[in-house]
Structure 1
Amino acid sequence: MPETPEDPELVRDRRLALGQRLRTLRTDRNLSQSAVAAAAGLARPYYGGIESGQHNISVANLWAIADALGVDIGELFTSSSTEKSD
């Protein structure tokens, strides 16, 4: 059966991938979760949950996080070829 956007496993994998990308962007800039969360207007535990793939996130919050990290929103969904994979 083909995967659908509602497939819980696919949704989980996408949340985890986004969280990993956010963590990479944040640590590359030597920022703490608290600093990014504050700059984005989010609670630190909520932001930490996004990085760990536990929370869904709104588009408005994606924009706020991208601004806090100083990147275009599209960079939240792409990775450079030099990034390490786990």
Structure 2
Amino acid sequence: MIYCLMVPKMTDDAVRRRRIAFGKRLRTLRAEAGKSQAEVAAAAGTDRSFYVGVEAGYRNISIDKVFLIADALGVDVALLFSDLPGRADRTRMNS
């Protein structure tokens, strides 16, 4: 048996919606942590303008930065992705 992840082609609109949702999630968690954008950015090893772009949904960030931001917020990385739109369908293929 072969297991294959079938990822539907994403439209620019779908990508944008996901980035905006991710940014809103970061903003909510940052507010709950009582931290400023500058504090989170510094703790994650990036500059504030980059982090602001991530929260606004304009930036595509690496998985490394995602983990650093989670650490800066003091949360498990999975929490950054909870309740975000659009899960890929997993399809089981027999061979």
Q: TM-score range by the shorter chain?
A: 0.7 to 0.9
Answer 1 or 2: higher relative contact order, Cα 8 Å, separation at least 6: 2
Which structure has the larger Rg?
2
Q: Name the SS for the 2:8 alignment partner.
A: coil
Alignment deviations for residues 35-72 of structure 1 (CA, whole Å, 9 cap, x no partner): 00000001100000000000001000000000000011
Alignment match of 1:47 (pick from 44, 51, 57): 51
User: Normalising by structure 1, what TM-score?
Assistant: 0.85
- Structure 1 position 24, deviation (Å): 0.1
User: Normalising by structure 2, what TM-score?
Assistant: 0.77
Q: Report the number of matched residues.
A: 77
Read off the aligned partner of 1:68 and give its amino acid letter. Answer: A
Q: What fraction of aligned residue pairs are identical, expressed as a percent?
A: 49
CA RMSD of aligned residues (A): 1.4
Structure with higher helix content: 1
Poorly superposed stretches of 4+, deviation over 2 Å: 3-6
Q: Which runs of 5+ in 1 are unaligned?
A: 80-86
Q: Which runs of 5+ in 2 are unaligned?
A: 1-6, 84-95
- Structure 1 position 5, deviation (Å): 4.2
Structure with higher strand content: 2
